[in-house]
Structure formats: structure tokens, C-alpha cells
Chains A and B, each alone.
Chain A
Amino acid sequence: MSSHSLRARLTWLIIAVQVMVLIPLGAISYQREQHEMVKLLDGRLAQAGRTLGTLIAYNKRDYSDADAERAVTLATEAQRAAVVVAVHAKNYEPEVGFQAYDPHGTLIAATANLADLPPPVKGEHGFRDIEHNGSNWRLFTLTNRFNLTIRIGERAENRADITQGLILEHSLPLVIGLPLLALLAGLAVKQGLRPLDKLTKVLAERAPRSRTPIAIERTPDEIKPLIVTLNQQLERLEDVIEREHRFAGDVAHELRTPLAAATIHLEGALIAKDAGELEYTLHNARRNLGRLGRRIEQILAIARLEAGAAAEQRTSLDLITLATEVVEELAPLIAEKDISLSLTHDEPEVRISGHEVAMTAMFRNLVENALRHTPERSRVDISVHRHGDTVVIDICDDGPGIAPELREKALSSASNAATIRRSPATAWVSASCSAPWSCMRVRSSCSITSPGRACWSASASPSIPQAAASADFVPR
């Protein structure tokens, strides 16, 4: 499993948590068990000592002749008077032993393994650890109410063996259980993450260009938000691709139309039968090639602005000059539809900071849009004026305006409301209008000012601080 695998991460985390909890618990349990065992064994030793003391008190010197003989052979001179109890090597008897002293301090009975232990010092009582004949012993000394002093001992090794045996027996489930627990945790995690595996499989099986939403049914609640977000992203991607597609189509229209006109005029020039016809066609071909060149420049400028590459290329622009040039360019359309066009301004110059080519494209598209959608022999009014610190541009025509259902969307999508009306190149016009404004703080609105009269209005700050380099469309 890779280190980035969620399953591996979860499995190892669970194992780590188990180890972190169970090992200290085991250690504490081991210590407590050891302590309890010492207390238990000590208690047993003390109990045995007291029992022995009582038994000796009531059965003083009742011992067998065989014991006496053995005492002669095994005991020292000083101990010959005492009874020495033999211990059998093949059972646990060598592990325990005792000494019994009468009130005068005379050894009256002892096991062979402790018979040669020096007598207790005066006042000795309770537990202590000693070394005797190369072995460690746990020794308990008591003086009972018959003034008999009993010393009972148990080999420390034996006690340790019992303790460790018990502890091992208790720890064994933990030692065996931990790896088993880890294995089970791994399986549980795998089972628990099966919906993720399914999702991974579904995503892997999707066609590379597929933008259809991912099915959300039978998805765990924890993954649902992820799928919902993913589906929203796919929807946005679909929108963006659709918009790009339309923009590409619109740009193609913008470029192909003047190219088609230029081509036809040039072909006309090739077959012209007289000088007048030749001059006419060549003149028109040149004008259309110029128009094509301007469109290319504008599209490049819009693309650069949208990519943010030309945001710094702003210059001081006179909107009156710009508007006049645009109107001159559109003179054939004005003449064809016999439209009464007016350009009004309070001052001879109205300057703003902007990208010249992009602003020209925007102006041209808005005015052309108004001209195209206004009926023949009607009116288009352009007004550029200052209002306080801002420059206000109004373009009004006698066209139908934007459908109410499209108006809100148009204004909220940072595109130019007035451009929605134009069917063939909406995306291009929209981009050409929004891109120059995107570098400025702009207020834009579209309204029906009077029956049959639609106006587009935008206000922009003449000098734009760098911090305000974002689109800010607010319906007025």
C-alpha cells in the first residue's frame, strides 16, 4: 500500500492507536500483577508461618524417631537437639523451608534447606530478602503468643517463576491478539472504504472528455459533498467550454465576414471590365481588409486583457475621439438604415485610463449593436459626460432592449447587458465589452427608459487605482 493510500493510513493509525493504548495498559497491568503476586505470596508465607507456630506450640517435641536419626546425621552440634525436617528434591519442597525456635532461642525444628541458617537476631520480625547457600530467599520471621519464633522462607526464584508464569498467562492474549487485531482492522478499513473504491472505479471508467455528472445515489454521506462539488465543477466546466465554444464561433463570424467581403471585392476586381469598376472593387476590398485587421487587433487585445497580460498597458484615452472614430467607421450602417445618430458631450475631451484597442472594440460593438437592433429611420443617441468623479456613457436606441428574463443574468454575469440582444456574436461582444471594463471600477445597467427606447449606461472612474483592478458591476 502506498504511503498516500487512505486505507494504509487508516490501518496504521488504528494499529498505532491500539498499540499506544494496549502497551501502556499491559505495562501497568504487569506492574500491578507483580505487586499483587508479591503480596499474595507474602501472605501465603506469613499464613504458613503462623500455622506452623501454632501447630508446634500444641505438639511440642512430638516427632518421630526417624526424624531424630536424620537430625543426628544432618544437623550440626548445636542443632542436634532440634528436629530437622527433610525436604524432597523432586517436588516443590526444596523451594520452601522453616526454622522454629523456642522461647529460649533454641532451634526446635527446621527444614533441611534452612536448618543451617543463623538464628534470628533479637527483635527480628516481618519479611526480608536474604541470600543463603547461593540462593535468594524471601524470609518471614514471627514470634507467636507462645514465644515461639518461627522463620519461614521461600526461594525468590520460585516466587519469580510463579509470578512470571501468571503474568505470561495474562499477557498471552494481548501478544497474540495485537497482530490479529491489526489484521482485522485492515480488513474492516478495506470493507469500510469500499464505496471509495467504487467511486474510484467509476471515475477511472469515465471517458476522458466526459462531463456528465457523477451518479450520487447510494453514496455514503461523507462522500456526497465531494461528489456534489465535483458535479458542480463539471457543470461550471461545461458552461465555460460552452462559452468558449460560442466565443470561438462568434470570433470566427467577426473575422470571416470582412474576409468574405474583401474576397468578393477582390474577385470582382479580377473580372472588372472597366477602370471605374476596378477602382470601386479595390477600394472596397482595401476597406474590408482594414476592417479585418482592426477586428484581429481587437480580438488579440481582448484575449490579452482576459489573460491579464495587458492590464498594465493602459493609456490616457479621450472617449470623445474614440466615440467619433467608431461612429465614422460605422457610417455605412448608419446610412444604410437611415438612422439619426447623435453624439453629445459636455466637454471637448473626456479622458479615462484604459486599453485603447479594447475600449474601441467595446464602443464599436455597443454602438453597432444599437444600430443593428434599432428600426430603420430611427434614433441612436450616444452621450459621454462627467458626473462628479466618474465618466458616464449612455447609449440609447429605439430597439426592443433586453428581454426581462435575460436582463438580470446579463447584469449579474459581468457581461454587457446591451450585447445580449444581438444574436450572432453575443459571446464575442460580451467579452469585448466586459474585458476592458474588467480593469476598471464600473457601474453598468440596461433599462427601458421610455416605451420603445432602450438604454445602456456605464460609469467608470477616470483614474483607476491599482487595487480596484477587478470587475464590479452593480445595476444602477
Chain B
Amino acid sequence: MHILLLEDDIELGGAIKHALEQQSYAVTWLTDGRSGASALPDALFDLILLDLGLPGRDGIDLLLEARRNGVRTPILIMTARDTPEARIKGLDMGADDYLVKPFHLGELAARIRSLTRRAQGLVDNRIEVGGLVLDLATTDVVFRGERITLTRREFAVLRILMERAGRIVRRESLESSVYGFDTVVDRNAIEVHVHWLRRKLSPELIHTVRGIGYMMPREPK
């Protein structure tokens, strides 16, 4: 899952990026409003974390512009502005959620999961495809009753394939969702993760669509 983080404070931005990456999210972090405005329309992001006090462009301006331009990506505002008026304004301008600093990482992660669930039409944190169950909150993976241990990258790849089960997921999309734009990715990196997933789960679970990407059937054998 690929998150766009717009936060001008280096320490806080770094902390959030690091923490979310530890939880298998790919994070692209920008520190000013102008570059944020360029990145917002990009459909590759699954979620946007937006600080309101950005240099160059105010966060509310960015939010308004994004919604006016038809950006449907869930946007979560993270800010120190804690007055009811500020919250109401933020939500009315098109934000999907509002989080006041300082916040707990657990709360941020829960809100990210909640927004993702809502965007994907899920009712809880569990994604189930055939006999494979993935818990987004606990990062537990259970296949045919057996708990499977995965690395965070493998978890990220599996999650995307399961979220889009029955559809082809392009290799580039997988790369950006797993690594973000900040990391230089080896050409075979995704293949290696898929290889290990097949070994740990089942060889038939993930199909390769040559020249395009990968797909997980809705009812794997």
C-alpha cells in the first residue's frame, strides 16, 4: 500500500515514514506544498497524510484543489490545529479524517486501516481469499489454518494481491506500493518476494501474467 506523506517537519516526517514502513507500507514523503500539489493527482497513492502548515502552499488549499480536480484518494489531515472550527473546516473541505498532533502511532495506523477499509468496501481488518486470511491490524497471515511468518515486504506484496484478487496487478504498481518512489528497486525484487510467497504458501496461489504483472485468483486451488 502506497502512502503519500506531506509533512514539513523533518523529524516528525522521518518518524512517521519510518514507523509506517515498519508496518509494510510504502511511503513517499514530501516536505513542501508545491511538490505536494504536483504529486496529489497521482493515482498511484492509496492514501494521503496531509499536514496543514506546509511551506509554499497551505494544506487546506492543496486539499481543495485535489478534490476539485477529482482526486478520490482518502486524505487524512494531521495537524496541531485542534479547534472544533479547524476540524470542521478540514473535514468539510474534503478530508476523510482528522488527526490532531501529538498522536499515537497505533491510532494513526488504525485510522489508515479504517480509511483503506472504507475505500475498498471492507467491513473489518481481515482479507480472506480462499483459505488464506490476512489480518491488517495484527499483520497475521493464516493459510489453511496454519500461521505463516512473512517479512514486511512479502506481507505488503501479498496484501496488494489479496486486495485486488481476481485482477491483474502490474509490476510497477506493486513496486511503488511496496517500495514507494524514494527507494531504488532492483528489477527482480518483486519476483523474489513472489517466489518466497509461493514457497511459504502455495505455488498455485499467485499467477504470473508475463510482461504485465501478477494475479491472485478469487478462488485459488
Contacts and interface: CB of A to CB of B under 8 A. Distances in A.
B130 interface: no
A282 interface: no
Nearest to A254: B80
A425 B52 CA distance: 11
Main SS class of interface, B? loop
Contacts of B104: 263-264, 267
A263 B104 CA distance: 6
Interface string A448-475: 0000000000000000000000000000
A284 B11 contact: yes
B211 interface: no
A249 B86 CA distance: 11
B19 interface: yes
Given A258-B11, A284-B15, A424-B53, A249 B81 contact: yes
A372 interface: yes
Interface stretch (A55-63, A117-125, A332-340, A356-364): A332-340
Contact of B105 (A267, A287, A421): A267
B101 A372 contact: no
Nearest to A334: B10
* Interface core residue of A264, A271, A336, A425 (most chain B CB under 10 Å): A264
B10 A332 contact: yes
Interface of A: 249, 252-253, 255-265, 267-268, 271, 277, 280-281, 284, 287-288, 291, 332-333, 336-337, 372-373, 421-425
* Interface core residue of B10, B19, B108 (most chain A CB under 10 Å): B10
Contact of A264 (B8, B10, B19, B54): B19
Chain B interface size band reads 20 to 34
Contacts of B12: 257-258, 260-261, 264, 288
A253 B53 contact: yes
A421 to B, nearest CB: 8
Contact of B19 (A267, A291, A333, A423): A267
Contact of A261 (B15, B54, B81): B15
A74 B25 CA distance: 150
Contacts of A333: 10
Nearest to B105: A267
Contacts of B80: 249, 252-253, 255-257
A264 B16 contact: yes
Contacts of B53: 253, 423-425
B101 A257 contact: yes
A472 to B, nearest CB: 30
B56 to A, nearest CB: 7
A330 to B, nearest CB: 9
Given A261-B9, A422-B55, A424-B52, A268 B82 contact: no
B124 interface: no
Interface in B95-116: 100-106, 108
A267 B106 contact: yes
Interface string B1-22: 0000000111110111011001
A284 B13 CA distance: 12
B58 interface: yes
B55 A263 contact: no
B173 interface: no
B82 A284 contact: no
A425 B9 CA distance: 12
Contacts of A373: 55-56
A372 B32 contact: yes
B125 interface: no
B88 to A, nearest CB: 15
A256 B101 contact: yes
B105 A264 contact: yes
B10 A260 contact: no
Interface of B: 8-12, 14-16, 18-19, 22, 31-32, 52-56, 58, 78-83, 100-106, 108
Contacts of A271: 22
A423 B58 contact: yes
Contacts of A337: 31
Contacts of B83: 249
A271 to B, nearest CB: 8
A390 to B, nearest CB: 31
Contact of B22 (A277, A287, A336): A277
Contacts of A423: 53-55, 58
Nearest to A268: B19
Contacts of B101: 253, 256-257, 259-260
A7 B14 CA distance: 71
Contacts of A264: 12, 15-16, 19, 104-105, 108
Nearest to A285: B15
Nearest to A400: B56
Contacts of B11: 257-258, 261, 284, 287-288, 291, 332
Given A249-B81, A260-B102, A277-B22, A265 B15 contact: yes
A263 B103 CA distance: 7
* Interface core residue of A257, A271, A337, A421 (most chain B CB under 10 Å): A257
Nearest to B79: A253
Nearest to B20: A264
Contacts of A425: 53
Contacts of B9: 257-258, 261
Nearest to A337: B31
* Interface core residue of B16, B54, B55 (most chain A CB under 10 Å): B55
Contacts of B19: 264-265, 267-268
Nearest to A425: B53
Nearest to B17: A264
Contacts of B22: 268, 271, 277
Nearest to B8: A372
Nearest to B22: A268
B105 A252 contact: no
Contacts of A256: 80, 100-102
Given A372-B8, A423-B53, A252 B18 contact: no
A337 B8 CA distance: 11
A281 B15 CA distance: 8
